Amino acid sequence: MSQITTQEYWRWPEYRYTVPEKDWHNAKILTAGIDIGSVGSKAAVMLDGELYAYAVIRTGGVSEETAIKVTKWALEGTDLEIEKIHQVVGTGYGRVNVPFANRTITEIACHARGAHYVYGPTVRTVLDIGGQDCKAIRCDERGKVLSFLMNDKCAAGTGRGLEVFADLVGIPIQDLGKVSLQVEKEPQPVSNTCVVFAKAEALALLRQGWSKEKVAAAYHAAMADRITDLLTRVGVSKDFVITGGVSKNDGIVQRLSRLLNVKPLSPKIDPILAGAIGAALFAKALQEKHLGLR
Amino acid sequence: MKAHYGYKDGSGDYFIVIDSDKCDGCGECINACPNGVLELILDEFDIEGGTMVAVKDEHRKKIKYSCAPCKPVSGERKIPCVLSCRTNAITHSW
Ligand code: SF4
Ligand code: SF4
């Protein structure tokens, strides 16, 4: 399978990896987490709660097939088969379509649990900004969700809002964040948070002779304001992490850090995998329960 | 766990908050709701399972309007779902 790259930066190249020094034959508990998202699907295979193999692919038309494909690809080159895995947990939007899953868990719970693995156990707030929605999750020291909020009503504050703006100013979406930071002084945020109106407002500013950088700054500032607004409802506690495609946009990340007065942690593993890893950790808990260990 | 269902817009914050630690899935609030806003869902937040109440998907983006009949602008507010819940698992942000 070849690697695919795309212009839309919150979609990912397809890839797989096996941790070389690990041997599954020595493991007591073999688990997998399968995260079927609307755009990408991920599989994480864990040995006694340690990451062993994973894969990320584009979600196809039939979720069941995608689930099998991503899991088989994760296991490629190993002699481990799906049937030998003790427990499998499905998560994400297509979680009910994982044919070999023993249970389903929401992506919110898996994201929080996975963020603990990816960033470390000090994580208390997870902000996930994807292409279509924005989730704010607060969790405890074990990665258990204390409070969450999901916004999918409005595109402002999601990757889609950025896409609209990138088209408008003709700047490649992956450069947008950087461009928005190339201003000497931060302008007033655009006053409208709704994408449709914000677009009109940005257009008007461009006509008034504002530079693209300045308009980009005003637009990013408005997005960061909006996301901050949402976050204050669930509360922000340290440590704080930003996941999802928009976490790659520095213009948003730096402004959010300033507004919230927190510095996001850096991940040890691609945070795209957080949901699948969380699911595999829930699968481990399931197996421990099954064995009477908890 | 506190689940926030709803949104925030230019006119305010519109969230129904369900506390899963208090909700035992008795379903009283669902019976009390005149507009079919609430439903019982599987608790997919942990491996223990069980059921809990949630705001139906189709109401999450228009909750301000779905719940408007229960929220007179003046006079005494008697919100049926909140009143019906013995464990105080439901709160509204507006
Ligand atoms: S009445 Fe309260 S406890 Fe019963 S289902 Fe509704 S929220 Fe849960
Ligand atoms: S406020 Fe009224 S319409 Fe809204 S959920 Fe409660 S009972 Fe149902």
Going by C-beta distance under 8 Å and a sequence separation of 6 or more, which residues neighbour residue A173? A7, A8, A9, A162, A163, A166
Question: Do A71 and A126 have their domain in common?
Answer: no
φ, ψ of residue A105 in degrees (nearest 5) = -135, 145
ipTM of this model? Answer: 0.87
Question: Which residues partner with A128 through β-bridges?
Answer: A135, A243
Question: Do A105 and A152 have their domain in common?
Answer: no
Q: Rg for chain A (alpha carbons), in Å?
A: 20
Arithmetic mean of pLDDT, A177-189: 86
What is the band of A153 on the pLDDT scale with cuts at 50, 70, 90? low
CA A264, CA A236: separation in Å to the nearest integer? 12
Question: Do A154 and A193 have their domain in common?
Answer: yes
pLDDT at residue A7 tops 50: no
Question: Do A159 and A251 have their domain in common?
Answer: yes
DSSP state letters, A55-88:
EEEE--SSHHHHHHHHHHHHTTTSS--GGG-SEE
* Ligand 2 geometric centre to CA of B15 (Å): 11
The CATH number linked to A25 is 3.30.420.40
Which token pair is A266?
Answer: 């850096």
Which token pair is A153?
Answer: 């009503």
Of A100 and A245, the one with more pLDDT: A100
What pLDDT, on the 0 to 100 scale, is given for residue A2?
39
Question: Do A30 and A156 have their domain in common?
Answer: no
Q: Rg for chain B (alpha carbons), in Å?
A: 13
What share of chain A in percent tops pLDDT 90? Answer: 46
The CATH number linked to B44 is 3.30.70.20
Residue A151 sits in which domain range?
121-267
- Tracing tokens 């607060």 back to the chain, one arrives at A138
Number of domains in chain A: 2
Residue B77 sits in which domain range?
2-92
What is the model's pTM? 0.85
Question: Do A226 and A277 have their domain in common?
Answer: no
Question: Do A259 and A146 have their domain in common?
Answer: yes
Residue among B3, B46, B61 whose CB faces A148 most closely: B3
Provide the b/e sequence for A178-216 (b: ≥16 CB within 10 Å). Answer: ebbeebeeebebbebbbbeebbebbeebeeeebebbbbb
Closest B-chain CA to A152: B61
What pLDDT, on the 0 to 100 scale, is given for residue A21?
87
Instruction: Please report residues of A whose CB lies closer than 8 A to that of B1.
Output: 144-148
**Residue A3, domain member (yes or no):** no
Instruction: Please report residues of A whose CB lies closer than 8 A to that of B46.
Output: 105, 109, 144, 282
pLDDT at residue A251 tops 60: yes
C-alpha distance from residue A229 to each of A5, A26, A167 (Å):
33, 48, 26
What pLDDT, on the 0 to 100 scale, is given for residue B19?
95
DSSP state letters, A194-259:
SHHHHHHHHHHHHHTT--HHHHHHHHHHHHHHHHHHHHHHH---SSEEEESGGGG-HHHHHHHHHH
- Tracing tokens 């979720």 back to the chain, one arrives at A63
**Residue A1, domain member (yes or no):** no
What pLDDT, on the 0 to 100 scale, is given for residue A6?
42
Considering chain A, what is the average pLDDT of its residues? 86
What pLDDT, on the 0 to 100 scale, is given for residue A154?
62
Going by C-beta distance under 8 Å and a sequence separation of 6 or more, which residues neighbour residue A103? A87, A89, A90, A282, A283, A286, B47
Of A246, A247, A180, A253, the closest CA to residue A210 belongs to A180
CA B20, CA A294: separation in Å to the nearest integer? 22
Residue nearest to atom 6 of ligand 2 (CA): B81
C-alpha A113 chain-centroid distance? 13
Question: Do A93 and A189 have their domain in common?
Answer: no
Question: Do A47 and A161 have their domain in common?
Answer: no
pLDDT in tens, B59-92: 998 999 999 999 887 777 889 999 999 999 999 9
- List the single best residue of A108, A138, A153, A154 to mutate versus B (max B Cβ within 10 A): A153
Number of domains in chain B: 1
* Ligand 2 geometric centre to CA of B76 (Å): 15
Check: CB of residue A129 under 8 Å from CB of residue A158.
yes
